Structure 1
Amino acid sequence: MSTDTAQARGRRIVPVYAGYLVAALVFFGPVVFMLWSAFRRNVDITGSIFDITTPLTLGNFTNLFERFAFVYYIRNSFVIAGGSTLLGLILGVPAAYVIVRRRLASVGFLTLLARMAPGVMFVLPLFVLSVNIGAPSNTGLNFLLLIAAHLIITLPLCIWLLIPFFEDIPISLEEAAMLDGCSVIQRFRNVVLPLALPGLSVAVTLSFIFSWNFFLFALALANNDTLPLPVIAFNFIGQGASDYGGLMAASALISLPAFLLTIFAQRWLVRGLTGGAVK
């Protein structure tokens, strides 16, 4: 009887692991192919896609820094994505708190509409604004405009990611702090924020990744001094020929900061859960 039970259990487990394998191939297969192709010559990528005997090279990465001022484009991406994420948190954290405590669901829904709207809807007004304020010829203004444009992505995301975390914090904790003489700002800083650390880590991670990868606003609004990495990667694709090796190397470098931030945020998420626990 035990043997039959083990065989039946094994037959049930096989489809489950087969599904895991298919999901892994779908999600991780393109990533593995990108990393592998980043170290291959362009002729090998186009001529023998799955030939594992082809030699590996660092030429694609060296060409990136020889052909382009790649360090400056990395800096530009960090300025735009980091600035919009930081500003989105500064505005989004108190906004989400007020929406929860004042029960302003309609205000939260309006912010969600901005996130649901297609990005191309904002491009023309932002471009007209850019021309009127002289942003195309002013690097500082251009950075500020790009950061403000990316707030359309990061601010609604921060608000809607943090609302459930604030809703889970009992109001009784704030009432107890109020009885101890804490002001509204003190209650928010010393009671609410430590308990919302997991939500903050998720909001920072997703906001940065969405802003880092967003292509449209930079393509339409950035000048030569403020171009971020996604727009530069577009230069590897042309009508006559395409540098697939360079494109894969650029894609790997573009993905690296988001990947590292995700790993860091995962550890921070655990620390936030234990540090904000109610004893």
Structure 2
Amino acid sequence: MTKRLGGVYAAYLVFAVVFFGPVLFMLWSSLRNNVDITGSLFDIGSPLTLENFTNLFERFAFGRYIANSFIVAGGSTILGLVLGAPAAYVIVRRKLAALGFVTLLARMAPGVLFVLPLFVLSIRVGGPDSVALNYTLLIVAHLIITLPLCIWLLVPFFEEIPISIEESTLIDGANAWQRFRRIALPLALPGLSVALTLSFIFSWNYFLFALALANERTLPLTVIAFNFIGQGSNDFGGLMAASTLISAPALLLTVFAQRWLVRGITGGAVK
């Protein structure tokens, strides 16, 4: 029994090193001078500094890039939930599995498939010259990521709600919208939390659409991080600091909502 527990804890330790090791190394490197990172990779005695973080805000409009990321990721997540929740409910209650599969195809397709049409559309409507229009195009583009995800995360939660609960409201004359808003939606609140968390993380980390569509005033964090790598010049300290700031919101949101994430992963597994 003791040997078995020892093997389990050893496996936990290995997984912890594999998953948390790179994150801790990123955080540690963000607090080191660039010369220390390139000179001695694992020198634990090297001095720590916040210079990499201060340089980010001195050399770049980093506050604006953070705001851009929140606008695009937050906007596409909220819009994905607003459109995805009713869509998932209709798919379940009307048994439109084929329609649900069609929405999933957009999530399965590579993002490169949508870049060229979206880029041409952006040029035609004047997206590069308008900040508001550029934000709108980026949010709509990120719906390709968030909307199918919201739908397929919410479908199992709506399937778990007994139809008899909704049918009981017919006595009071409740219509379909009232049944969805007052009965189904509150009961699917854990699913909404899961969909919000995962959609935000996926949208926050995605950079392909922003790389092709964003102008210099709407660039998000994921794109600006590439400015720290160039031929003959590699600012690893700045890159690690930028990566830390990029990863922080997604990591904090994951830790905060991990209980709902576990339920979302297993949602629909037991009926």
TM-score strictly above 0.5? yes
In the alignment, is the contact (CA less than 8 A) between 1:84 and 1:148 conserved in 2?
yes
CA–CA distance in 2 between the matches of 1:211 and 1:139? 19
Q: What corresponds to 2:267 in structure 1?
A: none
Larger Rg: 1
Contact 1:218–1:227 (CA under 8 A) maintained in structure 2: yes
Match of 1:198 in 2: 190
C-alpha deviations, 1:27-68, integer Å up to 9, x for none?
000000001111000111111111111000000000000000
Paired residue for 1:42?
34
Q: Which residue of 2 aligns with 1:241?
A: 233
Structure 1: which amino acid aligns with 2:12?
Answer: Y
Amino acid at match of 1:129: L
Asked whether 1:60 is paired with 2:52, we answer yes
Q: What CA distance in whole angstroms lies between the structure 1 residues aligned with 2:74 and 2:52?
A: 27
Supply the AA of the counterpart residue of 1:235: N
Equivalent position to 1:212, from 184, 199, 204: 204
Structure 1 position 266, deviation (Å): 4.1
For residue 162 of structure 1, report the CA deviation from its aligned partner.
0.4
SS of 2:251's equivalent in the other structure is helix
Deviation digits for residues 106-160 of structure 1, max 9, x if unmatched?
Answer: 0000111100100001000000101111101111111100000000000000000
The counterpart of 2:256, out of the listed 242, 264, 268, is: 264
SS in 1 for 2:201: helix
Which amino acid is 1:87 matched to? L
User: Following the alignment from structure 2 to structure 1, what is the Cα–Cα distance between the partners of residues 109 and 237?
Assistant: 34
The equivalent position to 2:170 in structure 1, one of 149, 167, 178, is 178
How far does residue 99 in structure 1 lie from its aligned partner after superposition? Answer: 0.3
Q: Which residue of 2 aligns with 1:80?
A: 72
Q: Is the 8 A contact 2:194 2:260 kept in 1?
A: no
Q: CA RMSD in A?
A: 1.3
Asked if the contact 1:197–1:269 (Cα under 8 Å) also holds between the matched residues in 2, the reply is no
Cα deviations by residue, 1:75-124 (Å, 9 ceiling, x for unpaired): 11011001100110010000000000000000000111100100001000
Match of 2:11 in 1: 19
Query: Unaligned stretches of 5+ in structure 2?
Result: 263-271
Deviation at 1:259, TM superposition (A): 2.1
Sequence identity of aligned pairs in percent?
Answer: 74
Decide whether the 8 Å contact of 2:65 with 2:219 is kept in 1: yes
Q: Which amino acid aligns with 2:76?
A: S
Matches for 1:45-124 after TM superposition, within 5 Å: 45-124=37-116
The question of whether the paired residues in 1 share the 8 Å contact of 2:73 and 2:200 is answered with yes
Given that 1:64 and 1:250 are in contact with CA atoms closer than 8 Å, whether structure 2 keeps it comes out as yes
Contact 1:149 1:217 in 2 (8 A): yes
Structure 2 length-normalised TM: 0.94
Match of 1:276 in 2: none
The equivalent position to 2:159 in structure 1, one of 167, 174, 178, is: 167
TM-score normalised to structure 1 length: 0.91
Q: Alpha-carbon deviation of 1:269?
A: 7.6
Match of 1:254 among 235, 246, 256: 246
Structure 1: distance between partners of 2:165 and 2:200: 31
What's the CA shift for 1:264? 3.4
Structure 1: segments with no counterpart, 5+ residues: 1-8, 271-279
